[in-house]
């Protein structure tokens, strides 16, 4: 067998082996399927701090979030505290 025909037969066998692999491989999903589980309970905006409360019924967790204001009066961040309810 000539070296060029040997290379051709190896290439044909390799591609024949890769085609079924490519057809039956699971395809990657580009999006994550996420359902929000936190239910808003309430919000309060008395004075400068703004608070919002959320509840996750599946885990029994409650989350309080407070918007932090900067010296110029703009939003500088959000502070979160979570606790498990009895």
Q: What is the pLDDT of residue 49?
A: 74
d(CA 66, CA 53): 9
Residue with tokens 């400068």: 48
Inter-CA distances, 14 with 11, 39, 43, 68, Å: 5, 54, 63, 61
* Segments making up each domain of the chain, as ranges: 3-28+37-84
Of the candidates 74, 36, 42, 81, which has an alpha carbon nearest to the alpha carbon of residue 56? 36
- In this predicted structure, the answer to whether residue 3 has a pLDDT above a threshold of 70 is no
Q: Quick one: pLDDT at residue 36?
A: 64
With contact defined as beta carbons under 8 Å apart, do 69 and 75 qualify? yes
pLDDT in tens, 37-61: 888 888 888 766 788 888 888 888 8
- pTM exceeds cut of 0.85: no
């Amino acid at each position: 067998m000539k070296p060029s025909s040997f290379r051709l037969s190896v290439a044909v066998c390799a591609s024949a082996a890769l085609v079924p692999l490519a057809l039956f491989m699971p395809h990657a999903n580009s999006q994550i399927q996420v359902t929000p589980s936190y239910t808003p309970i309430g919000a309060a905006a008395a004075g400068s701090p703004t608070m919002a409360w959320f509840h996750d019924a599946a885990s029994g967790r409650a989350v309080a979030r407070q918007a932090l204001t900067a010296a110029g009066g703009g939003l500088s961040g959000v502070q979160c505290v979570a606790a498990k309810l009895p």
